[in-house]
Structure 1
């Protein structure tokens, strides 16, 4: 798989992206329900792995990182595709998804789409809990339980 294979899917999606063929990387920004200017990177890591990373446009303040880390641990539990990560040194928060494929065989277009958009969807679901911790002084358990309760309500409707 080559970065051009992913770029073709993004062209079909009419995304405004930049390609760095030397680095085998694509970048773009997207507004989500919870945050504008969310960054995204798709990168070919090696002959059989692609990495899709969605990055929050703000870093978590140092004083809130431990609480956010506990919250993210709860959010990550049971996820089927991808996971949240936070750099403990600078507070960068991202959602990563790795795609594995056969050497010289591209991922199916629909798989590329799913791995691209899952991070944005997870941000919309779980970043409100991060914001509740950072700006609302909620604890990680309380923030997580509120997100899960809202999800149950939405599913019941």
Structure 2
């Protein structure tokens, strides 16, 4: 099997002039992104055998154990209205990430499609990041944090 998904995602990041680093010999690229509300790590993963492209934005701090229930509510409320992508939290270690993915089994992945999934991802992370931070800081309830974000 050729590494077509990896080649396509690599082509996008090079054309769009991202600073990227491949993780060993794996079909995974790592990069940073800085939005209006913070900076975080991103990973692009080509799953050739499953014919999938995945892109993750990962919040740099782990959610403290005592805040995970509130963040789980925040994430559930955020995910409810999202059309593309979703937030995830590892309840064991507190990692929060936003994932966009596409199954490319019957389509040809292009740099334009990669761009759509990458920029949707980082824009959603940037949009919801103030809410994540405010819930962690106990400034507002998860419900109020989502209401503030989604009324914009």
When the two structures are superposed, what TM-score results if normalisation uses the length of structure 2?
0.90
Q: Report the Cα distance in structure 2 between the residues aligned to 1:106 and 1:25, rounded to whole angstroms.
A: 19
CA distance in 2, matches of 1:137, 1:28: 31
Matched, 1:40 2:46: no
Native 8 Å contact 1:40 1:54 kept in 2: yes
Q: Distance in 2 between matches of 1:96 and 1:82?
A: 5
Q: Does structure 1 retain, via aligned residues, the 8 Å contact 2:74–2:143?
A: yes
- Number of equivalent positions: 148
Shift of 1:102: 2.9
Q: Post-superposition shift, 1:22?
A: 2.6
Shift of 1:122: 0.7
- Preserved CA contact (<8 Å) 1:51 1:96: yes
**2:78 corresponds to 1:114:** no
Residue 39 of structure 1 aligns to a residue whose secondary structure is strand
CA deviation profile, 1:93-150 (whole Å, cap 9, x unmatched): 10011111137x641211100111222111121111111111143111111111122x
Asked whether the equivalents of residues 5 and 106 of structure 1 are also in contact (C-alpha less than 8 Å), the reply is no
| Whole-angstrom distance in 2 between the partners of 1:127 and 1:72 | 11
The CA distance in 1 between the partners of 2:105 and 2:135, in whole Å, is 41
- Corresponding position of 2:127: 125
Moved more, 21-30 or 5-14: 21-30
Residues 1:140 and 2:133 are matched in the alignment: no
C-alpha RMSD over aligned residues: 1.6
Within-5 A mapping of 1:80-99: 80-99=83-102
- Please state whether the residue corresponding to 1:76 is helix, strand or coil: helix
TM-score (norm 1): 0.87
- The alignment partner of 1:23 has SS state of coil
Q: Give structure 1 stretches of 5+ with no counterpart.
A: 152-157
In 2, are the aligned partners of 1:67 and 1:140 still within 8 Å (CA)?
A: yes
Name 2:64's counterpart in structure 1. Answer: 61
Structure 1 runs (4+) deviating above 6 angstroms are: none
